[in-house]
């Protein structure tokens, strides 16, 4: 059943912290993956879910950072993962599946934001699209048997209000027909993450797998490492309120475990609620709501076909 893209009565709000969402949940026996779980909101997501009893596996490129940040957490392990490298994604999935035959929650959290110029992943695609979408598409496909075996699973994609800056142009993913713009490329990759969950939820429902995307809020983390100080200050001018990393992780955790979302899926969320739909011609920038073009089922299906061809991964 398709879930309506409109707010519900949520027990939480924009100032809720991830630990508050997880409070009262017993996730003992649940297996969770969080990509990019060694820093920022990913780390807070790991802390909240492991604190509720889940066994959490996190993947990221920087093992040294992971060892430093995760060493004091119980039920948390690390496997190296570079989403720009299909061989690394394959190795991560192989290692995980050797240890676990099922996966209850997959959180595609890792992301790249506005590198200074056009870079490409090892497949040859624009790097933000490659990391934020294609790497996670491949990973989800490789883990699909474990998600199906869970007997009820959720896939959560951390998108962004940045999707409002650019829709999906499958004819010009690498900006060969138009001048490269880092923010437009970021927006396209985040639109792709939303569209991915729309189609994923559609094909996953018969297996009791539901999918969600979300905007975590404006949070100052090391995702902004490519921005100059002037760019960062200009970006901050448009933000009405910043969240802490703990608050930024709350919507991720809510999408992953909330009973309020049982039987739902394929929706974009923010502030621990399902978001409203904003007009496609509304101004871009850090505003609430999701663009209608990011929910278009035909675009979602077209992106799915493109992603299967680009990654060589076909969901069973």
> Which runs of E-coded beta strand occur in 46-136?
55-60, 76-80, 105-108
User: How far from the centroid of its chain's Cα atoms is residue 16's Cα?
Assistant: 19
Euclidean distance between CA atoms 109 and 89, whole angstroms: 14
Catalytic residue among 125, 180, 186, 268: 186
How many CB atoms within 10 Å of residue 20? 18
Please say whether the beta carbons of 156 and 49 come within 8 A: no
Closest CA to 34 of 199, 295, 257, 275: 257
How many CB atoms within 10 Å of residue 132? 29
Q: Does 186 qualify as catalytic in the annotation?
A: yes
Closest CA to 34 of 23, 22, 42: 42
The gap between the terminal CA atoms of the chain, to the nearest Å, is 20
Euclidean distance between CA atoms 43 and 97, whole angstroms: 22
Euclidean distance between CA atoms 130 and 121, whole angstroms: 6
Please say whether the beta carbons of 35 and 83 come within 8 A: yes
The catalytic residue positions are 186
């Amino acid at each position: 059943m398709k879930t309506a893209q409109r707010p519900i009565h949520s027990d939480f709000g924009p100032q809720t912290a991830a630990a508050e969402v997880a409070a009262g949940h017993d996730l003992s026996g649940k297996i969770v993956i969080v990509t990019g779980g060694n820093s920022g909101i990913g780390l807070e997501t790991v802390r909240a879910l492991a604190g509720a009893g889940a066994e959490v596996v996190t993947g990221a490129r920087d093992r040294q950072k992971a060892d430093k940040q995760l060493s004091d957490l119980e039920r948390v392990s690390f496997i190296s993962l570079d989403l720009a490298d299909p061989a690394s994604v394959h190795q991560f999935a192989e290692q995980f599946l050797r240890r676990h035959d099922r996966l209850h929650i997959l959180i595609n959290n890792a992301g790249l934001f506005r590198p200074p110029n056009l870079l490409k992943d090892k497949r040859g695609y624009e790097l933000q699209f490659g990391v934020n979408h294609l790497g996670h598409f491949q990973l989800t496909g490789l883990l699909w048997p474990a998600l199906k075996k869970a007997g009820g699973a959720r896939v959560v994609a951390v998108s962004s209000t940045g999707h409002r800056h650019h829709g999906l142009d499958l004819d010009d993913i690498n900006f060969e027909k138009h001048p490269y713009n880092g923010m437009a490329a970021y927006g396209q990759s985040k639109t792709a993450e939303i569209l991915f969950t729309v189609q994923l939820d559609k094909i996953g429902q018969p297996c009791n797998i539901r999918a969600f995307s979300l905007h975590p809020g404006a949070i100052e983390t090391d995702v902004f490492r490519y921005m100059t100080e002037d760019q960062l200050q200009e970006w901050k001018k448009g933000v009405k309120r910043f969240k802490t990393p703990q608050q930024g992780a709350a919507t991720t955790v809510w999408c992953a475990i909330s009973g309020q979302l049982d039987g739902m899926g394929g929706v974009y969320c923010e502030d621990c609620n399902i978001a409203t739909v904003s007009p496609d011609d509304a101004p871009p920038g850090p505003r609430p709501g999701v663009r209608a073009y990011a929910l278009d089922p035909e675009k979602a299906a077209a992106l799915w076909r493109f992603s299967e061809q680009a990654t060589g991964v076909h969901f069973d």
